[in-house]
């Protein structure tokens, strides 16, 4: 599936240019000169460091939610963060408030937000075999941050920070009743294209990442291994790598260059010990234990896409039996049960997801919809309010808040919600529903 199907490359590029123009405008036309920390030369900069930090602080929790939340293993999160911090400390921008996390997407991806906020997916960590491979991917992202690549390349969505495009995408296909809930959950984890780096930027980030690895005591061969893993997966499961490759073009030329660079580093680093396999295996033990359950979940999503909802439900159920502590799998199970008309069971599964991970948008949203379907309006509103806090401004959340108000006889609150939905969405069953009600109640003329 192509995210921007129908968009030509030229259109995409002009979209980025417009994005930057919008940003310059938003900043009052300030385009200051900053010194590039890597090259030491002056560079046109569209945002001050302060603005960069603010953008990162604001966007990090949102993008974490959009990537299906955190992988719920605190020890692993600490481990990944400590490796990232070690590399960041020896980078060209050691003083940023870096943060590193593992998000729960099955895709193979890693991305850097402004200000040194960096995420790697569960899918990518699961594919790795040692700490040096992980350090290689994190070091590469730090390289982009250190060399200020993002200042020119972040897409409009990142800068606007509004994420309204995400809500729109979800709503185009969302049906009014619980049907389509699975598709909505999937779409809410949209793979936003964060940046499109050039080949030269990729080459520079590769070099920087490997240097940082060496300074932190890692065998830089780990990075070459990570690239080889990605190339290998691209042949086997290209769809899982789409967002990574769209921002980090990977070519055999890059792999060859990185391979050649290895001889520049001292022999004391180029040892199997400096790949640090044992510590990595220990830290990822739980992830590797639940990964087969996530594979079942992903098969269930595919079955759902192919219209086989019965098989999908079976796969989700089996996945929750294998990994009963994984909230995201319970969310999919709940959505599938809801679509199968098993209302009571569905709500129980959704509540299970919420109790395992109260701050996961997808769990709160699905629980909110299912509680509404079960006519438990107070409970539904509690979940939807939490969902609104986790990813603000999603029109489908506002829509279900309105449906609850309407069912509770709070017509004015309902009208306000439906009006807010119509301000964001003009087409599709949800917009039609809101429009009809507002006309019916005399808030709009038909």
Applying CB under 5 A, the residues found at the interface with Zn ion are 197, 202, 205, 248
Smallest distance from the beta carbon of 126 to Zn ion, in angstroms? 20
Phi, psi (5° rounding) for residue 219?
Answer: -75, 115
Neighbouring C-beta atoms of residue 1, cutoff 10 Å: 7
Could you give the CA distance from residue 85 to residue 109 in angstroms, rounded to a whole number? 19
How far apart (Å, rounded) are the C-alpha atoms in residues 445 and 158? Answer: 37
CB nearer to Zn ion: give 52 or 141: 141
Rg of the chain in Å (alpha carbons)? 23
CB of 202: closest distance to Zn ion in angstroms? 5
- Least distance to Zn ion from the beta carbon of 391, Å? 26
Element (H, E) at 208: helix 199-215
Closest contact distance (angstroms) between CB of 209 and Zn ion is: 9
What's the distance, CA 295 to chain centroid? 18
Which is nearer to Zn ion, 115 or 186 (by Cβ)? 115
What per-residue string of b and e applies to 101-135 under the rule 16 or more CB within 10 Å gives b?
bbbbbbbbbbbbbbbbbbbbbbbbbbbbbbbbbbb
- Residue among 86 and 248 whose Cβ is closer to Zn ion: 248
Choice between 205 and 391, CB closer to Zn ion: 205
Q: How far apart are CA 149 and CA 194, in angstroms?
A: 12
147 alpha carbon, distance to own chain's centre: 23
Which residue has the closest beta carbon to Zn ion? Answer: 248
**Nearest to Zn ion of 145, 434 (CB atom):** 145
**Shortest spacing between CB 19 and Zn ion, in angstroms:** 19
The smaller minimum CB distance to Zn ion, of residues 242 and 298, is found at: 242
CB of 110 vs Zn ion, minimal distance in Å = 9
245/194 Cα distance (integer angstroms): 11
């Amino acid at each position: 599936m192509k995210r921007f199907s129908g968009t030509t490359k030229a259109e995409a590029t002009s979209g980025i240019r417009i994005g930057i123009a919008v940003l310059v405008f938003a900043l009052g036309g300030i385009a200051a000169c900053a010194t590039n920390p890597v090259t030491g030369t002056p560079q046109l900069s569209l945002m001050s460091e302060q603005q960069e930090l603010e953008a990162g602080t604001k966007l990090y929790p949102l993008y974490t939610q959009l990537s299906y939340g955190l992988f719920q293993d605190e020890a692993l999160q600490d481990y990944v963060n400590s490796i990232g911090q070690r590399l960041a400390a020896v980078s060209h921008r050691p003083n940023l408030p870096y943060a590193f996390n593992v998000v729960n997407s099955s895709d193979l991806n890693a991305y850097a937000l402004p200000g040194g906020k960096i995420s790697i997916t569960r899918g990518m960590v699961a594919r790795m075999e040692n700490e040096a491979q992980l350090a290689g991917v994190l070091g590469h992202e730090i390289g982009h941050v250190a060399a200020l690549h993002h200042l020119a390349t972040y897409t409009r969505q990142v800068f606007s920070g509004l994420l309204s495009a995400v809500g729109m995408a979800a709503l185009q296909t969302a049906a009014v009743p619980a049907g389509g809930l699975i598709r909505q959950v999937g779409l809410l984890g949209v793979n936003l294209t964060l940046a499109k780096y050039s080949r030269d930027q990729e080459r520079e980030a590769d070099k920087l990442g490997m240097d940082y690895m060496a300074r932190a005591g890692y065998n830089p061969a780990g990075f070459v291994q990570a690239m080889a893993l990605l190339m290998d997966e691209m042949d086997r499961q290209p769809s899982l790598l789409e967002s990574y490759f769209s921002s980090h073009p990977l070519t055999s030329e890059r792999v060859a260059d990185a391979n050649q660079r290895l001889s520049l580093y001292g022999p004391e680093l180029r040892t199997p010990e400096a790949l640090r396999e044992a510590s990595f295996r220990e830290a990822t033990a739980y992830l590797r234990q639940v990964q087969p359950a996530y594979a079942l979940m992903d098969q269930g999503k595919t079955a759902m896409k192919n219209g086989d909802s019965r098989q999908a439900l079976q796969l989700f159920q089996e996945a929750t039996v294998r990994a009963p502590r994984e909230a995201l799998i319970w969310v999919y199970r709940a959505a599938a049960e809801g679509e199968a008309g098993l209302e009571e069971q569905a709500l129980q599964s959704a509540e299970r997801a919420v109790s395992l991970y109260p701050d996961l948008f997808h769990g709160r949203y699905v629980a909110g919809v299912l509680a509404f379907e079960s006519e438990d309006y107070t409970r539904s509103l509690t979940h939807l309010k939490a969902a609104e806090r986790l990813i603000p401004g999603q029109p489908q959340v506002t829509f279900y808040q309105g449906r609850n108000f309407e069912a509770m006889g709070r017509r004015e609150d309902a009208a306000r919600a439906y009006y807010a939905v119509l301000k964001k969405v003009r087409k599709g069953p949800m917009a039609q529903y809101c429009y009809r009600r507002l006309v019916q109640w005399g808030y709009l003329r038909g």
